[in-house]
Amino acid sequence: MRVVVDRQGWAMVMLDRDGGDALLASSSPAEVDRALARSIGGSVRPLGGWSGRQMARNWSVVRRSNDWLHRTGLRAQGVVNPDPLRPLMRAAHILYLVVEVSPRNAPNFHLSGAYPERMASGNVYYRRAYFEYPELPGLIGRLRRAPKPPAVTVQAGYTRADLIGVCAPLALVLLLPLAITFWMRARALRAMAAEEVDSATALFGFNRFLQQITLVVWLLWLPLNYGLGLRAILEFFWDGPLNFIPLPFLAYYLPALTTVACTVIAAPVFRRVWDKQFASENVVKDSLLALAMFLPVVFYSVAASCFLDNPYAAAGWAAAGLAVRQGVQRLGRRPVLRVTGGELFEAAQRFSSASGLPPADVLVLPGAAGSFANAFATTGNRVLLTKYLVDALSKREVNAIMAHEMTHLKHKHPMILGATYLASAALSIGAAFWAAMHHVPAAWLGVIQAAVLILSMLGQTMLGRAFERVADAGALALTGDPEACISGLGKITRLNRMPMEWGKWDRYWLTHPSTSQRFREIAKRGGMSEEQVTAAMQAAGGETTGERYNIVVRSAAAPAPVV
């Protein structure tokens, strides 16, 4: 006899082909059902439908009980008592009985009254309680005099101490970073107000703190989430009208919400330097949009996981992923100006031709959204410049920045970086599948994913630094103007309140080499003398004296989306 226990409170009771046929040959189905109902202390009914037909191939009797496990608070309990089956066994001349209790997603499962059996691999897939009668001459007589077999008590669920032991460490991981961020914010604001440090150093240090606290949250969350069994607890409580919500959505978005909250708490520090664009409502919107960008990946993962069991549900999740992706793109779309003529456009096309690229699409990000001096190379052969950069730098310096971005496009750096992000996600999913196939304990799965996260970050930052060096060399080759390369890079660093040199350990976690290191490499490649380097660095720290570009655009009323 096999009893399959589910976390929702129902149980399936099955008799194997030989034993069930023997019982049905000597007793009526109603008698068998009554004996099974007394054995488990609940009503039973035949299991119908497709599942019943599939089970009937291997089992002679398949019954289901919807009221077997009785929930009391946070725990559920049921009893399996083989004794009511003994009269039917004697009538059918059955020599022995094996009772197997198998948990099906039942959390925190325990048996009492019998010894659990472990699989040879050491992982508990199910636990069995055996009640065997020896095959000896005169067995039927001995069976009548056999001692009453013990009842097996099945328990699932959680005590209050269980929940505290799981939730307290996870809550600490989620809430302690918020308190630390409040404390660091107060320190940074006091230091800025007292002018103990310059704004660039304070801002960069605080930004690095946010990155580090985010990394620590994830490195602690992954092993604790798996090792403490948060998923099982969520499944236990989440059954009911909301059980269609994917549990990875909850388990992985809790730490993500913590990082968003830390960013919102930090907004006053950034607003002290950059004012309007770091208004609290803008920070919340941008952070939530960044978080929502990963929602389609979650939905696609859920669709893939349930495709074989429920193709219609999988199609629904995939459609939801596409809809969310379109919505996030619409909400995150910012107005940009498309450069259609003038000297800036001609310079961009000249660099495109020299790099062997088709004509580049030059976009300018205006307004508060473009109040950083920055430039980007994106897929689709696009170069995006912020208006702040074009207004603050001379023509020679803007040319050096554009040539830098054209080199990124020439070597397909945006595409390669995008592929590395996908490879990192595939590696994490592959590690989870490998761990499941090799029955790796849940805590070690979290450790493996944390290690994958660290290695992926280190690999991506190392690749980013290598790409920046290649782009600096390409800009120097396209412009032949090392002084403009150095002064333009220095002005961007100064305008964005960034330090010229990274810390000892920061350089391993940043995608760009430090500005001073890039100065040295450009000067070496350009054959600059010390006097020329000094003059270029002085130009970076002063006001722009050369000619500047006038932007000729198509229309700001028809913004081009940036992907």
Query: Torsion angle of alpha carbons 189, 192, 197, 200, nearest 10°?
Result: 90
Cβ 279 vs Cβ 287: under 8 Å: no
| Alpha carbon 156 to its chain's center | 29
Rounded CA separation 115/128 (Å)? 8
Cβ 336 vs Cβ 380: under 8 Å: no
Instruction: Give the confidence band of 122 by pLDDT, cuts at 50, 70, 90.
Output: very low
User: What are the start-end ranges of the E strands in 331-401?
Assistant: 337-341, 361-365, 375-378, 382-386
Is the pLDDT at 129 greater than 50? The verdict is no
Question: Taking each helix axis from N to C terminus, what angle separates 530-541 and 515-526, rounded to the nearest 10 degrees?
Answer: 140
Query: Which position has the token pair 């090799």?
Result: 438
Instruction: Give the confidence band of 113 by pLDDT, cuts at 50, 70, 90.
Output: low
Share of the chain above pLDDT 70, in %: 73
* Cα dihedral across residues 536, 537, 538, 542: positive or negative: positive
Identify which has the larger pLDDT, 234 or 472.
472
Identify which has the larger pLDDT, 217 or 281.
217
Identify which has the larger pLDDT, 57 or 519.
519
Query: Which position has the token pair 């208004």?
Result: 279
pTM of the model as a whole: 0.67
Is the pLDDT at 369 greater than 70? The verdict is no
Helix (H) or strand (E) holding 1: none
Express each pLDDT in 84-107 by its tens digit: 887 888 788 777 677 777 776 666
Is the pLDDT at 56 greater than 90? The verdict is no
Rounded CA separation 465/443 (Å)? 34
Q: What is the pLDDT of residue 123?
A: 28
Is the pLDDT at 128 greater than 60? The verdict is no
> Known catalytic residues?
405
CATH superfamily of 337-553: Metalloproteases ("zincins"), catalytic domain (3.30.2010.10)
Q: What is the pLDDT of residue 142?
A: 42
Query: What is the average per-residue pLDDT within 345-350?
Result: 89
Lowest mean pLDDT among 26-40, 213-227, 269-283: 269-283
Lowest mean pLDDT among 36-45, 50-59, 204-213, 275-284: 275-284
Cβ 39 vs Cβ 85: under 8 Å: yes
Q: Would you give the end-to-end CA distance of the chain in angstroms?
A: 60
Amino acid at 216: V
Q: Which residues contact 483 (CB under 8 A, 6 or more apart)?
A: 396, 528, 532, 535, 536, 539
- Helix (H/G/I), strand (E/B), else coil: 442: helix
Express each pLDDT in 378-425 by its tens digit: 878 889 888 888 888 888 899 999 999 999 999 999 889 888 888 887
Is the pLDDT at 205 greater than 90? The verdict is no
Rounded CA separation 226/442 (Å)? 5
Is the pLDDT at 357 greater than 50? The verdict is yes
Identify which has the larger pLDDT, 474 or 452.
474
Mean pLDDT of the chain, nearest integer: 75
Q: What is the pLDDT of residue 189?
A: 85
Query: What is the average per-residue pLDDT within 326-354?
Result: 82
Q: What is the pLDDT of residue 182?
A: 94
Instruction: Give the confidence band of 136 by pLDDT, cuts at 50, 70, 90.
Output: very low
Identify which has the larger pLDDT, 56 or 478.
478
Query: Which position has the token pair 């055996």?
Result: 130
Lowest mean pLDDT among 76-80, 233-237, 412-416: 233-237
Is the pLDDT at 288 greater than 70? The verdict is no
Q: Which residues contact 504 (CB under 8 A, 6 or more apart)?
A: none
Instruction: Give the confidence band of 497 by pLDDT, cuts at 50, 70, 90.
Output: confident
Instruction: Give counts: helices (H), strands (E), the chain.
Output: 20, 15
Express each pLDDT in 141-163 by its tens digit: 444 445 566 677 877 777 788 88
Whole-number Cα distances in Å, 89 to 83, 137, 431: 10, 17, 49
Is the pLDDT at 62 greater than 90? The verdict is no
Which residues sit opposite 71 in a β-bridge?
A: 76
Share of the chain above pLDDT 90, in %: 8
Is the pLDDT at 176 greater than 90? The verdict is yes
Other beta carbons within 10 angstroms of residue 427's beta carbon come to 16
What angle (nearest 5°) sits at the alpha carbon of residue 43, between those of residues 309 and 47?
Answer: 30
Structure tokens at 537: 């660095």
Rounded CA separation 283/342 (Å)? 35
Q: What is the pLDDT of residue 406?
A: 92
Identify which has the larger pLDDT, 230 or 523.
523
